[in-house]
Amino acid sequence: ATKGQRFVPSNMKAALDEAELSNALYETKYELGSRPDWVSIPLTRLEHLAQG
């Protein structure tokens, strides 16, 4: 059923970028709900990701 199927995305960088963005958004939501004083950490990461 999986013969000839790709398991690695054709654009690995785009896949990794999306995963990193998704994780940073999750961390932002988590920190807002659990430790609002720490939210600057994932926000700084999001800013870095936005700048490329």
Q: What's the pLDDT tens digit per position in 1-52? A: 678 777 777 888 888 999 999 999 999 999 999 999 999 999 999 999 999 8
Residue 45 amino acid letter: R
32: in domain: yes
- Other Cβ atoms within 10 Å of 51 Cβ, number: 6
| Domain count within the chain | 1
Query: Distance between CA atoms of 52 and 44, rounded to whole angstroms?
Result: 13
33: in domain: yes
12: in domain: no
The pTM (predicted TM-score) of the whole model is: 0.76
Range of the domain at 45: 25-52
Query: Distance between CA atoms of 8 and 15, rounded to whole angstroms?
Result: 9
14: in domain: no
